[in-house]
Chains A and B, each alone.
Chain A
Amino acid sequence: MLRLLRSLALAAAAWLTAANLAFAAGADPPGAPSDPGRQVLVLLKTPPPHLGPGADYGSAYGEGPARIAQRRIASRLARRHGLTMASDWPLPLLGLDCFVMTAPPGMSAKAAAAALSAEPAVAWAEPMSLYRAQAAPPPSQARLYLAEPAAREWSLAALQRIATGRGVRVAVIDSAVERDHPDLAGQVAIQKDFVTDRPASSEEHGTAVAGVIAAKGLGVAGIAPGARLLALRACWQVPSKDPDAPATYCDSLSLAKALHYAISARAQVINMSLAGPPDPLLGRLIDLARSRGAVVVGAYDPALAGGGFPANHDGVVAVADETARGLPRGVLGAPGRDVPTTEPGGRWYLVSGNSFAAAHVSGLLALIKQRAPQAHGAAALATTTPHGRTIDACASLLKASAPCDCSCPHPGQEAAVARR
């Protein structure tokens, strides 16, 4: 019996070594950026968890024989279509396992996804897409001034007498947030990194968006300083021609991981200051988040069809800088120009772009959620005129707070606003 066990162990070890080499062969070398243009997400439906051999050992979701079967199916599909396995990720909220495969040179991800989608074992396959944060190059430091747009246009001090977003969970799906920035220390409840192959402790876009939403007021006042941030890194910063304006990218898989986590962590507001092509997997996750009461906020991108995804996805609150002209129906305007906010390194600077307009709205929704946890989507927001596009922050908050012994001051004015 012992000989039998020893032989089995040796055979298993030999197989494992071979399997590891085969698995790793398709992966990108460490540190090298992967090419999303050749990567495909392959979604396999997983059976519900149930009793089975080995169930006595407390298998969690995505464990055990079912997981092994899924991997074998994915490996076989990859071989059949000439692709290589790169990684995988369970998505239990959707009942799916997501496998990342890389198409060989000469084969487009779109063609590979179409071929794999025709496989009966595949729920669907889609090309990995790239998403870009919606930040404009910063203005020169000479134009820096301390007044925040929200302080003037949204009467921020008055808003915060009604609500501060206390305890509302806001997921910031973005690049790395500087958690120990003086204006963000203690504001980040959870920090997760879903881009582990590109490590970074803090990056500009995520830190700036987090500051707009929830800065404590040491240097700048966030819209909802009482909110609890879930800093979910799904994007990464890369240098660009303008050293003051690094580009920030995300891909379908990293966004799916972060969205899945945000839903599991019961985020009430999900900020996605980014845009890219429509994506079925991300769309299903956003639908799931909304069905669980979360509000998803997306930044509008005028350069993409329909304003880009996720802003053009049904139910997502699409937001753009309120000074932009010709905003289409369904896109709401919020402060997004010359916004002082937090910068990595414990500093502050000015930012502009639809990303930060979206962050303003996420902060406002956190205030609204504190007063009215059931408030949902764009319907919770009021505009300055009946058919206007510019958000009236105070009217939105009062709508959620009614009945309330409080009032909206005119922009620029301080007004007595008492708690109910």
Chain B
Amino acid sequence: MAAAFCHGASARAQAVFSVAGDSDYRLRGVSLSGGRPALSLALAYDHSSGVYGAASAVFADGGPGGARLLGYQLDLGYARRAGRDGSWEVGVTDARFSDPVDGAHDYVEIYGGVTRKGLSARLYYSPDYFGEHVSTLYLDVGGAVRLRRHWRAFAHGGVLTPISGRSYPNSRKQHYDLRAGVAFDYQSLELRLAWSTVLPGPDYPIGYDQSRQAVVVGAAIGF
């Protein structure tokens, strides 16, 4: 389940307040919500200079204990159009997620990326991914294509590579994640159905008991 709100704009900026939720909150193929539904709140800001920022918080269904704060994320970046149908961006992300077993996981990532005609590629570097004393590179390639007026298909692939630091128990050299699905949009409503998986398995970075793959259902709506 997801929703999106927005505020207006000044001469040089626009801000969007959004609420998003899904049947499972999966980051890079790994469920951070333990396979349970999650709700996200986010505020995104775009300045006409190209500077953008976002702050988001995720709440997960905590079972008998009710909803709990799963984590938050701050993004700050700069994007520019370039060449034919393209753009590039650089930015930094500061995130903090928690799980009932290990407690808090803080990490910072810097990233750079390019987009062109609905395709995007980004490379992220984290000196201490999920606070596990492992520096990582993550390559993210994605794309979306409009099938019909209200329908589009999307796909994403990513590879997470530890490059230095301690060897994490049960971790593998590289983790691959894939996601593909379809979305239906009508005005500011969006419904999504996606299949997500991670290889060789979801044993990094958070040690939840969870499935290696899942079907995730979500929706979006604007206010």
Contacts and interface: CB of A to CB of B under 8 A. Distances in A.
A65 B44 contact: yes
B104 interface: no
Contact of A56 (B12, B156, B223): B156
Contacts of B27: 56
Interface in A33-71: 45, 47-54, 56-61, 63, 65-71
Interface in B169-223: 179, 181, 183, 185, 187-190, 192, 194, 218-223
A48 B62 CA distance: 37
A64 to B, nearest CB: 8
B142 interface: yes
A5 interface: yes
Nearest to A58: B154
A140 interface: no
A58 B222 contact: no
A50 B42 CA distance: 15
A61 B192 CA distance: 17
Contacts of A50: 52, 77, 79, 87, 89, 91, 113, 115
Nearest to B221: A12
Interface string B143-173: 1111000001011100000000000000000
Contact of A54 (B18, B113, B152, B189): B18
Tell me what chain B mostly uses at the interface: helix, strand, loop, or mixed: strand
Tell me what chain A mostly uses at the interface: helix, strand, loop, or mixed: helix
A65 B189 contact: no
Contacts of B219: 9, 12
Interface string A7-33: 011001001100110010000000000
Query: Interface size bucket, B side?
Result: 35 or more
A142 interface: no
B11 A4 contact: no
B111 A51 contact: yes
Contacts, number: 170
Contacts of B120: 49
A70 B7 CA distance: 10
A95 interface: yes
Contacts of B134: none
Query: Interface size bucket, A side?
Result: 35 or more
B89 A15 contact: no
A57 B194 contact: yes
Given A19-B188, A63-B185, A71 B222 contact: yes
A4 B87 CA distance: 38
B188 A4 contact: no
Contacts of A58: 142-144, 152, 154-156, 179, 181, 183
A52 B85 contact: no
A68 B20 CA distance: 14
Contacts of B183: 57-58
A292 interface: yes
A54 B179 CA distance: 13
Contacts of B98: none
Given A12-B219, A15-B221, A58-B142, 9 more contacts: A1-B37, A1-B62, A1-B66, A5-B39, A12-B221, A51-B77, A57-B218, A69-B6, A70-B14
